[in-house]
Amino acid sequence: MNEGHSAQGVPAEGALKLALLLTALILVLEAVSSVFAHSLALLADAGHILTDVVALGLAWFAIQQAKRPADARRTYGYHRVGILTAMANGATLIVVVLLIVFEAAQRLAHPQAVKGGLVIIAASAAIGINTFVALQLRGQRGNLNLRAAMLHVAGDLAASIGVVVAGLIILLTGWLYADPLISIVIAVLIAWGAVKVVLDTANVLLEGVPSRIDLGAVQSQIQGTRGVDGIHDLHVWSVSGQDIALSCHVVVPLQKLSATEHLVRELEQSVCSRFGIAHTTIQVEACHPCTNDSEHAAGQHNHPHLD
């Protein structure tokens, strides 16, 4: 599937922009309704939706930034602008969670009257809009940005359903504790996503191996290629959340130096097709094959080889 198009043939950029606008509409609807309904659960759900507005905005922003060419100062382009923003967003969300939990504790101690009917109406509208957004983004297995956006929308649906349940309980039984309890559940959902965002972005900024990449498998794939006698200085890291880079030194027999260009192309194709690594820097050396000593292990710094 083309990365730039959705399952229905709608450009990914257009699908994200539509999802962003509709999700922002839900945010305004729930935030305003929570004030009139005195519902912390509805306000917490609005906070959850705020995280998704930011996430969808970042996904759209990433597409825009990907269009910018690399330059002499930023040779990999501007992909990490979104990573920096995501890190700040994740840290802010943790503060939002603490505020929601604090307010929920206050309401558990001193329950406030909640207009259950208005809560149900606002949350039901959110469910309807989120369902439409989900239909626009469904089937995006090949587009990581849209897949992430789809997960956020699914979280919105679950949270909004929880708010409807809270509204029904209050409307039918008058049990006001349902509102702060549901808000705590939603806060946990926000915290889970926020912590994951912070950890994932920290791993990118520290140039860690992406979680979906098995470094040992990458090493075995290259080592097992015909014409490769050894490999060292293997590094795999994320340029952004989607773009993965690799650099390594491979050792080849001296008599095979004339065929190294074909070997390098074969290795590039191999790691790209199996691991999705598009950026590769492979240096070829002709010397005694590398041993299995720790000094030649994956991730170690370069050590010169002597004949």
DSSP tag of 300 = P
Q: Residues 52, 160: one domain? A: yes
Examine residue 260 and state whether it is found in any structural domain, yes or no: yes
Q: Residues 238, 156: one domain? A: no
Q: What pLDDT sits at residue 1?
A: 36
Q: What pLDDT sits at residue 32?
A: 92
Give me the chain's average pLDDT, please: 78
CB 96 within 8 A of CB 47: yes
Examine residue 304 and state whether it is found in any structural domain, yes or no: no
Examine residue 210 and state whether it is found in any structural domain, yes or no: no
Q: Residues 122, 62: one domain? A: yes
Residue 32 domain boundaries: 12-205
Q: What DSSP string describes 154-201?
A: HHHHHHHHHHHHHHHHHHHH--TTHHHHHHHHHHHHHHHHHHHHHHHH
Give me the residues paired with residue 279 across strands: 245
Examine residue 74 and state whether it is found in any structural domain, yes or no: yes
The low-confidence residues of the chain, meaning pLDDT below 70, are 1-12, 62-63, 66, 79, 82, 85, 139-149, 151, 241-242, 255-258, 287-307
| Predicted model pTM | 0.64
Q: Residues 141, 251: one domain? A: no
Q: Residues 149, 249: one domain? A: no
| CATH, residue 44 | 1.20.1510.10
What are 168-219's pLDDT values in tens digits? 998 888 898 898 898 888 888 878 877 877 888 888 888 889 888 899 999 9
Examine residue 302 and state whether it is found in any structural domain, yes or no: no
Q: What pLDDT sits at residue 217?
A: 93
Examine residue 22 and state whether it is found in any structural domain, yes or no: yes
Alpha-carbon distance of 155 to 190, in angstroms, equals 9
Examine residue 3 and state whether it is found in any structural domain, yes or no: no
CB 209 within 8 A of CB 243: no
Q: Residues 48, 187: one domain? A: yes
Q: Residues 103, 181: one domain? A: yes
Examine residue 272 and state whether it is found in any structural domain, yes or no: yes
CB 302 within 8 A of CB 296: no
Instruction: Return the H-helix or E-strand segment holding 43.
Output: helix 40-66
Residue 250 CB neighbours (<10 A): 24
Q: Among the three residues 152, 179, 205, which one is the final residue of a domain in this structure? A: 205
Percentage of the residues of the chain whose pLDDT score is greater than 90 = 9
The number of angstroms, rounded, from the C-alpha of 190 to the middle of its chain's C-alpha atoms is 14
Q: Among the three residues 173, 205, 237, which one is the final residue of a domain in this structure? A: 205
Number of domains into which the chain is organized = 2
Alpha-carbon distance of 215 to 201, in angstroms, equals 19
Task: Write b or e for each residue in 169-181: b if 16 or more Cβ atoms lie within 10 A of its Cβ, otherwise e.
Answer: bbbeeeebebbbb
